[in-house]
Chain A
Amino acid sequence: MSRVYPQLSKADALEEVAKLERLLRAGGTPKPLPDGSLHPRGTFSDYSGVPVDPTHLRTLHRQLSDVVDRVGGQGRDADRRFDVIVGGELVRWFEQDGRRQASNPEIWPYLTLVVLPDLAVRRFGTDKSGRLPRERYLSGRRNIFFRAYLRSWILGDLLEDPDLPLFEDDLVGLVDRNLSADHRVAQFVAEQIRAVRAGEGRRAAVREGLKGLQFELRVTDLASLEDSTARELVEKLFNVESTSVGSG
């Protein structure tokens, strides 16, 4: 029997963000499902399965807390490890509970604010004025956990490679330019980004490559090409020396 996850309206989610800010200002520690039950304003708009129960959500929280505890440290590298490890865990979790639930951007504010608020605050805490970054907590592709989930789902094992020198901005480009619906191309692109040598020109080269790919996708059906042809084409796009579009 599939499970259905609850959702919060935008107004309710904003109210929860404000509550979380007040709690943090008062020196409190956010807790999962603080009232011990589901959030009273949550709704189950999907009627295809059984509403998820608080015990199951607490298990999700415990599993994620366990993996996050292994991350440790601070700074950009720790953030990247947080995203990779949490994303991987969420992909495994939703393989059991159904990807359709995870595909819906509207379930993520509930998870972020009601089920995983302590982990959310750890990844994106308050600024100097005590405000939390709204876009990381509300619905949308910048939500902390939705973003980590999507990256892990799209890039898979590549993300767990400790030597993978993918920069955060490159990743955002890859996931958000809608290339991600074509996982084979996304994998070829990730390989190419990895292959671009570190140094001053790296970001520019990657950006040029992604721009070229955007154009190529408008005129070429990459998905219909053989693996070797498609890979070769993507390789050319990330090689600034080459400007060829067609192949013979």
Chain B
Amino acid sequence: MAGVETRPFRAPTRSAVEVEVELVEPRVPIEALSVAWEPGHRIVLRVRAQLSSEFWDQTDIPSDEEVHLVGIVTCLPARTNWRSMATFRESADGWTAETLVEIDGNVVAVEILADGYVVGNGRTGSPDAARSVHVGAKLWQLPQPIRLSLEDERTAFPTTPISFGETGRRDVPWTVEITPDADPEWGIGSAIRLYINTDSGLASAIAEGTAAEDIFALIQSDIHLVVLHRLAGWRDTVSPARMEQIADVDPGTLAALGASIATGLGVPLGEALRLAREEPLELAARSRESLVFGRYAETS
């Protein structure tokens, strides 16, 4: 059943206003925001609206009176909103307005809601001049705000871009670090992390996924070695069989990552851990072989 709106002023019909919302930064369709947006980066939305010719009659507002478009973006978890306004002007395209809303990427989390209003002096119809105008009336509003998720549901390997010069790391394009206390039951998200050196010319290509395939093969190989080396350190207290049990119960653990790497190398987990401890170069060679390192250039 359609809802009946009661407003204390003359409001236009639903079809008297058309609103479009689009992303300007990052420049992708609204549905793709969560994938394209980097936390911390600003988000800019463009809100455009057009009034139909009936708008003025329906609201009883003279067309020489200013009516505004308000674009508003709310982040409820942050309890913050951002808004901007533009005045409707008549042109060859009719009565239009357009405004940009800039959102602080350092504040928002989880999701944002984009809304659009048409605001002006509503006419109440009251014969009493003092009560005939409703200042700041929301004459029209989107039927419901547009929800834009900020959470990228894809599983990405924990990665952080950082200056190696400023943080006392070796001058290499990347490094894989493991939390010193991490045991086989730790979650991958807290146990291991890829750091990309922002001082390196390769940093942006790695972060954007445009670096050469061999670079990614080497990064993956580093992950193989680091994970297996760490698990090998636990071999005396947590047997490979027990590690496989942990992996079966929770695929998000370090043990599960190790088991999956061993499978990729074509060896049992116990053998992969032995290689990590006793024959690290053999393990490195197996890892690179499994990742077809050095053969991308031949095939492309």
Residues of A near any B CB (own CB < 8 A): 1-2, 4, 6, 35-51, 98-101, 103-105, 150, 153-154, 175, 178, 180-183, 218-225, 229, 244-248
List which B130-178 residues lie within 8 A (CB) of chain A: 130-138, 156, 158-160, 162-163, 166-167
Q: How many A-B residue pairs have CB under 8 A?
A: 155
Q: Whose C-beta in chain B lies nearest to the C-beta of A246?
A: B134
Q: Which residues of B contact A38 (CB under 8 A)?
A: 179, 181, 190
Q: Whose C-beta in chain B lies nearest to the C-beta of A35?
A: B181
Contact A1 to B107, CB < 8 A, known contacts A40-B183, A41-B190, A48-B38: no
B129 on interface, CB distance cutoff 8 Å: yes
Interface residues on B, range: 35 or more
- Is the pair A44, B79 in contact by a Cβ cutoff of 8 Å? no
Q: Whose C-beta in chain B lies nearest to the C-beta of A180?
A: B79
A-B contact pairs, 14 of them (CB 8 A): A39-B190, A40-B183, A40-B191, A41-B187, A43-B189, A44-B158, A46-B39, A99-B107, A103-B109, A105-B77, A178-B74, A219-B134, A223-B72, A229-B135
List which B269-285 residues lie within 8 A (CB) of chain A: none
Q: Which residues of A contact B133 (CB under 8 A)?
A: 246-248
The docked-state distance in angstroms from the alpha carbon of A38 to that of B191 is: 9
Q: Which residues of B contact A247 (CB under 8 A)?
A: 133-135
The docked-state distance in angstroms from the alpha carbon of A183 to that of B76 is: 13
Q: Which residues of A contact B129 (CB under 8 A)?
A: 248
Q: Which residues of A contact B138 (CB under 8 A)?
A: 218-221
- Is the pair A103, B107 in contact by a Cβ cutoff of 8 Å? yes
The docked-state distance in angstroms from the alpha carbon of A101 to that of B183 is: 27
Q: Which residues of A contact B134 (CB under 8 A)?
A: 219-220, 245-247
For the complex with contacts A38-B190, A181-B80, 12 further pairs of A-B residues with Cβ separation under 8 Å are A47-B160, A48-B40, A100-B39, A100-B107, A103-B107, A150-B79, A178-B76, A181-B74, A183-B80, A221-B117, A221-B138, A248-B129
Q: Which residues of B contact A153 (CB under 8 A)?
A: 79
B110 on interface, CB distance cutoff 8 Å: yes
Q: Which residues of B contact A36 (CB under 8 A)?
A: 181
Across the A-B interface, the 5 shortest Cβ-Cβ residue pairs: A43-B189, A103-B78, A48-B39, A246-B134, A248-B130
- Is the pair A181, B7 in contact by a Cβ cutoff of 8 Å? no
